[in-house]
Structure 1
Amino acid sequence: MRVLFLGTGTFGEPAMRAIAASPHDLVGLVTQPDRGGKGKHTAAPPLKAAAEELGVPVFQPAKVNVADSLDRLRAFEADAFIVAAYGQILSETLLSIPRIGAFNLHASLLPKFRGAAPIHAAIRGGEEETGVTIFRIVRRLDAGPMLGTEATAIGRSETAGELHDRLAVLAAPLTLETLDALDAGTAVPVRQDHDLATYAPQMEKAEGRIDWTRSAAAVSRHVRGMSPWPGAFSLFEPGGLQTKGGKPARCLFESVEVVAGDGGEPGEATERAGDMVVACGSGAVRVRSIKPAGKRAMTGAEFLRGRGAGRFG
């Protein structure tokens, strides 16, 4: 089969490389344009370098649904489109171009966690299992019939970044199995149960703020689910007083673990057995790694030695 890949982030790289190494013909990559970086430099989408390494043509339209872009897509003469974290909404005209159809790789077990942030939602929600689903793209968000799934347990200490990378690897063989079945005419689409659908919309940076009134387990899941982006953060007031300049210090929590017992009022940071412990609505967490704004990451104990006890909020 002739396959055109549409993707921008790193999630699609294992699948794209798997297609390139298979009997199927990877005819091109459609990805977002290079963006302005720091200074006068531009940053290319992560998949672009991989495609160039594989000798695959790269097309980077600013607007993929306009007439000129659609003509370029038709010129690839693809039997199927595989889409993974591309970043633009695809029109019905575009979806009608490939002979067999357009199929999306999604990082959840649909119909649970439709939307842009399924990995964050699974960890923050305390799910024990998640996975990857490949489905035919339809106009309704992530609602098309499924052609295959691959499930995996979520590690007890796994972050969103770590889970993202594992799911990307799981997506590769699932993609090849689906393409093989489509090519052989043996694929069996399975309708999603829309009544069971839940949603995980695009994350905003402000959602990273920690709510210390929640349980210690929920705070721990929040920190894991926000790593590495948008980051779980809180504002620190040493001894209940404002820091220099009248603003509390913004601190990024990189790793915490639930500990036995309570630690006081929610957000209260104290020393326990040489470590920093922060009280939650129920229970407490030990801070394993914290990064104050403008400073290096450090242990909770190092933070306490430099700033003393205080309160996060």
Structure 2
Amino acid sequence: MRIVVMGTGPFAVPTCVRLLQDGHDVPLVVTRPAADARAKKAPPRPVYEWAKAEGIEVFEPASINSVEAIERVAAYQADLFFVCDYGQILSDACLGAARLGGINLHGSILPRHRGAAPVQWALLRGDQEAGITVIHMTPRLDAGPALESLSTLIRADETAGQLEPRLAELGVDATVAAVRTLEGWDGEQAIGMRQDKTQVTKAPRFSKADGQLDFRLPGEYLVRLVRACQPWPGTFGVLTWGAGKSFRIQIRGARWSNSVAGWKQLEPGGVAVVEAEQVDPTWEAPWDRMLGIQCQGGVLLVGLLQPAGKREMFASEFLRGHPLDESTRMTLPEVPLSTLD
């Protein structure tokens, strides 16, 4: 088939590679424009890099739904659009520029987690499974009939940065199967499974502010937030020693427990060193020494952190250089935060 690819981020790349390997004609890649030249750091565009390496023409419209952009894409007479991790919603007019319309590879089991950050929200909401869905596209966000869907168990301690590439690989065969379905489609009969509107949940994009930790919240939720926010936007707090020194730290790896031997109940944000042997013996601690932080319902056990301007390190290394005292604590936001979910 003649397939025009529309994508920007890394989630699309494994399937793009497979489409070429399977002999499909990919004459054009449409991707989000590069960041403003004044920006300090342009966001990565893996699909753009892949297309350039393969010698495929790249088109970077500010709006894919403009008359000029639609005319440009229509000139390629594509059978199908493959859309994944692109960043724009296609209009009816744009979808009509391909003979069979478009398919979208989405990083969730739809209709759960419609939106720009499905992997992060699967972790934040404590889902046991994650997955992918390939839909036949409509102009509504992630609302088309499902052609293929696959799921996988979420691993213990898995972060968004670890889960997303697994799902991207899971989506390859599903997309190939969806393409085969459309190759035999007459353009008239209904295909795919309609999504149950009563089961829709939203997965909006995270902001930097969403990574702020409030230790008045439940520890179980804070651990899910840490996992969902890795690698971006990261979760952070400020560790202070009275009125003296303070460190803004990103928490990179954490668990929580409501059973820490010898732990004395503190105010939310209160801290103490926790050794691995203090944790419930049926629970295998991944770190030998942790920064324990009092939160609602238990203790957040931080094993991996990154002080501002420094490299990532184990909590044990940080604590050797910065021992705690009675004044040490994690500051709390002035206005209590609520859970995102």
Overall identity of the aligned pairs, in %: 36
Aligned to 1:271: 273
**Once structures 1 and 2 are overlaid, which stretch shifts more, 250-259 or 189-198?**
250-259
Q: CA-to-partner distance for each residue in 1:225-275, whole Å, 9 max, x for gaps?
A: 11000101112222xx2345xxx5321000112243355322211112343
- RMSD (CA atoms): 2.1
Aligned to 1:223: 226
CA, structure 1 residues 272+227, in 2 after alignment: closer, same or farther (shift >3 Å)?
same
Q: CA-to-partner distance for each residue in 1:171-191, whole Å, 9 max, x for gaps?
A: 111111100111022983110
SS of equivalent to 1:190? coil
Task: Give distance in 2, aligned partners of 1:212 and 1:237.
Answer: 14
Q: Is the 8 A contact 1:35 1:44 kept in 2?
A: no
1:178-193 matched pairs, under 5 angstroms: 178-185=178-185, 188-193=191-196
Q: Is the 8 A contact 2:145 2:194 kept in 1?
A: yes
Task: Give distance in 1, aligned partners of 2:185 and 2:12.
Answer: 24
SS of equivalent to 2:213? coil
SS of equivalent to 1:35? coil
Q: Is the 8 A contact 1:37 1:43 kept in 2?
A: no
Aligned to 2:149: 149
| TM-score, normalised via structure 1 length | 0.92
Q: Is the 8 A contact 1:109 1:151 kept in 2?
A: yes
Task: Give distance in 2, aligned partners of 1:283 and 1:139.
Answer: 45
**Once structures 1 and 2 are overlaid, which stretch shifts more, 133-142 or 6-15?**
133-142
SS of equivalent to 1:189? coil
Aligned to 2:248: 250
Q: Is the 8 A contact 1:20 1:54 kept in 2?
A: no
Deviation at 1:282, TM superposition (A): 1.1
| TM-score, normalised via structure 2 length | 0.84
**Length, aligned pairs only:** 308
Aligned to 1:210: 213
1:1-313 matched pairs, under 5 angstroms: 1-36=1-36, 45-185=45-185, 188-238=191-241, 241-243=242-244, 248-259=246-257, 260-261=259-260, 264-273=266-275, 274-309=289-324, 310-312=328-330, 313=332
SS of equivalent to 2:304? strand
Q: Is the 8 A contact 1:243 1:249 kept in 2?
A: no
Q: Is the 8 A contact 1:6 1:83 kept in 2?
A: yes
Task: Give distance in 1, aligned partners of 2:41 and 2:237.
Answer: 32
SS of equivalent to 1:25? coil
Task: Give distance in 2, aligned partners of 1:158 and 1:40.
Answer: 30
Structure 1: which 5+ runs fail to align? none
Q: Could you list the structure 1 runs, at least 4 aligned residues long, displaced by more than 6 angstroms after superposition.
A: 37-44
Q: Is the 8 A contact 1:81 1:102 kept in 2?
A: yes
Task: Give distance in 1, aligned partners of 2:183 and 2:47.
Answer: 25
Deviation at 1:296, TM superposition (A): 1.9
Q: CA-to-partner distance for each residue in 1:268-304, whole Å, 9 max, x for gaps?
A: 1111234321122112132211111112222222333
CA, structure 1 residues 150+66, in 2 after alignment: closer, same or farther (shift >3 Å)?
same
CA, structure 1 residues 39+188, in 2 after alignment: closer, same or farther (shift >3 Å)?
closer
**Once structures 1 and 2 are overlaid, which stretch shifts more, 271-280 or 147-156?**
271-280
